[in-house]
């Protein structure tokens, strides 16, 4: 009995790729004009309002030489299609897309039809109508190839790429560190409905990929044995792949505060102290139990001490672009995130804790920062993000600031005494050591004086 692949003529695949080439040669400006809508989650670009300023400020002087908002190897979706330097990525996508289909047990036309069925809805996933000169057929060809490539990349990264050709598997493995950054660039996305349609034919472990190969960059504890991978990515209802990463990395809100609630708060909070000032006040800084950005807590210890728990963060040439793109994503989609700004609150916490390079060193020693970057680079990165911590970020961080304010108000006397001890600890230890030695010597002298004299040797009858 012939397999479904034998029933599918080879030109069908070639026709799809010819559609891709035709699309590449068209004017795509109409695809790139986006307008923010609050009523539904739409794919956003930097072309409207102040969004361009977000890009310029976040990317200005960023660590490394590459543009953090531009793919280095592969274009996903219409934004960077056909741009210089991405041609090799197109060849890789074609090979990976063919491998993805080849691992299924359905004819090519069946798999392709799944994308054609959602092409019209995917077109509406952009904030402005797409020019009629770009047909649904041409758009479907682009979405099919990009979607198959993403899922085949995920399959290979999670050791589920059975049937992949040697060339495709080798090149994906070779370029994986670069690709893992490119596919999470905020403008380098396609609608999630495309990936969901393709996975209805061939399921791929997207959640495992997110946790093992991306969240693991932020804290290696995520990729531990025994982790449950049963949660469906569709349950998170992501807009696209970056949104899924954002939801997984930030976690659930620890408060139900809204912007309106914040404006009605009468309790005044003190500005959060720096890492050095918290140490002076007897507040320890420790890593949280999870790396999710929303997992920030303040606890009291032994009545008079405090402990601030912060998610640990690895900063590297791979994680920095993803962090910046998640920050930009949160800013672009702030209305659709219902006022939740966990990235802004998380970065805002560091921005307050870090006032000098010594604060960075303290956080590094506490295991909060795991990085090969210099203290100066880390401080510069955090401070560049500071202007984008808007009111939504303050809402998210407000309950924590209330707890810290209460701690400082209730223990003013103790904090003052602790600061004196903290700043004079070496002197006090030296005095203590001197007194201890002096007392030991005095005790020895007194014991010798009070002991009876021994009888002379050799005496006796």
Residue closest to 194 by CA, chosen among 153, 250, 141, 127:
141
- Decide if pLDDT at 19 tops 80: no
Residue 297 pairs with which residues in a beta bridge?
A: 309
Handedness of CA 154, 287, 343, 372 (dihedral sign): negative
Long-range CB pairs of 423-429, under 8 A, 24+ apart, other chains included? 423/280
CA pair distance 326, 341, nearest whole angstrom? 11
Q: Per residue in 21-46, pLDDT tens?
A: 554 444 333 333 332 233 345 666 66
Q: Per residue in 178-204, pLDDT tens?
A: 898 999 998 899 999 999 999 999 999
- Decide if pLDDT at 158 tops 70: yes
Contact present, 122 and 109 (Cβ < 8 Å):
no
Minimum mean pLDDT range among 29-43, 187-201, 249-263, 329-343: 29-43
- In angstroms, how far apart are the furthest CA atoms of the chain? 129
Residue closest to 83 by CA, chosen among 195, 187, 193, 190:
187
Minimum mean pLDDT range among 201-210, 395-404, 445-454: 395-404
- Decide if pLDDT at 13 tops 70: no
Residue 425, judged by CB atoms within 10 A of its CB (0-12, 13-18, 19+), counts as exposed
Q: Is the pTM of this model over 0.85?
A: no
CA pair distance 74, 304, nearest whole angstrom? 54
- Decide if pLDDT at 376 tops 70: yes
DSSP 290-303: S--TT--EEEEETT
Measured CA distances, 334 to 4, 44, 340, 416, 450 (Å): 46, 11, 7, 41, 81
- Decide if pLDDT at 289 tops 60: yes
Residue 101 pairs with which residues in a beta bridge?
A: none
DSSP 128-187: SPPPTTS-HHHHHHHHHHHHHHHHHHHHHHTT--TT--HHHHHHHHHHHHHHHHHTT-TT
pLDDT value, residue 339: 54
Residue in the block written with tokens 């920030």: 296
Buried b (16+ CB within 10 A) or exposed e, 165-182: eeebbebbeebeebbbbb
- Decide if pLDDT at 88 tops 80: no
User: H/E element holding 435?
Assistant: helix 425-450
């Amino acid at each position: 009995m012939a397999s479904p692949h034998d029933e599918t003529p080879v030109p069908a695949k070639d026709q799809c790729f010819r559609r891709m080439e035709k699309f590449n040669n068209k004017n795509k400006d109409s695809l790139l004009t986006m307008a923010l809508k609050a009523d539904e989650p739409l794919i956003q670009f930097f072309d409207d309002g102040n969004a361009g300023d977000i890009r310029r400020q976040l990317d200005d002087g960023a660590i490394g030489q590459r543009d953090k908002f531009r793919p280095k190897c592969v274009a996903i979706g219409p934004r960077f299609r056909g741009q210089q330097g991405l041609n090799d990525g197109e060849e890789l996508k074609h090979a990976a897309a063919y491998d993805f289909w080849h691992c299924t047990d359905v004819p090519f036309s069946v798999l392709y039809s799944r994308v054609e069925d959602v092409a019209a809805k995917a077109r509406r996933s952009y904030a402005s109508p797409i020019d009629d000169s770009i047909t649904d057929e041409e758009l479907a060809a682009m979405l099919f190839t990009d979607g198959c490539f993403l899922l085949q990349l995920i399959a290979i990264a999670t050791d589920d790429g059975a049937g992949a050709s040697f060339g495709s598997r080798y090149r994906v493995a070779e370029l994986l560190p670069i690709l893992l950054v490119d596919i999470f660039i905020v403008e380098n996305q396609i609608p999630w409905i495309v990936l969901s349609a393709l996975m209805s034919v061939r399921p791929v472990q997207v959640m495992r990929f997110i946790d093992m190969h991306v969240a693991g960059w932020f804290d290696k504890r995520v990729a531990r044995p025994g982790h449950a991978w049963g949660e469906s990515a569709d349950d998170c209802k992501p807009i696209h792949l970056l949104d899924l990463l954002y939801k997984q990395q930030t976690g659930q809100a620890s408060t139900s505060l809204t912007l309106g609630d914040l404006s009605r708060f009468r309790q005044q909070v003190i500005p959060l102290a720096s890492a050095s000032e918290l140490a002076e006040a007897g507040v320890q800084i420790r890593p949280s139990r999870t790396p999710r950005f929303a997992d920030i807590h303040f606890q009291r210890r032994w009545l008079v001490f405090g402990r601030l728990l912060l998610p640990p963060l690895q900063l590297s040439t791979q994680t920095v672009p993803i962090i910046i793109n998640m920050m930009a994503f949160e800013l672009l989609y702030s209305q659709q995130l219902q006022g939740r700004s966990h990235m802004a609150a998380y970065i805002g916490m560091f921005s307050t804790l870090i006032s000098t390079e010594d604060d960075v060193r303290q956080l590094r020693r506490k295991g909060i920062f795991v990085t090969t970057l210099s203290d100066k680079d880390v401080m510069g990165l955090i401070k560049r993000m500071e202007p984008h911590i808007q009111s939504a970020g303050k809402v998210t961080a407000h309950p924590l600031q209330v707890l810290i304010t209460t701690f400082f108000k209730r223990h003013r006397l103790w904090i003052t005494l602790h600061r004196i001890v903290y700043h004079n600890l070496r002197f006090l230890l030296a005095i203590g050591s001197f007194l201890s030695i002096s007392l030991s010597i005095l005790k020895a002298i007194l014991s010798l004086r009070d002991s009876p004299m021994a009888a002379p040797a050799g005496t006796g009858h």
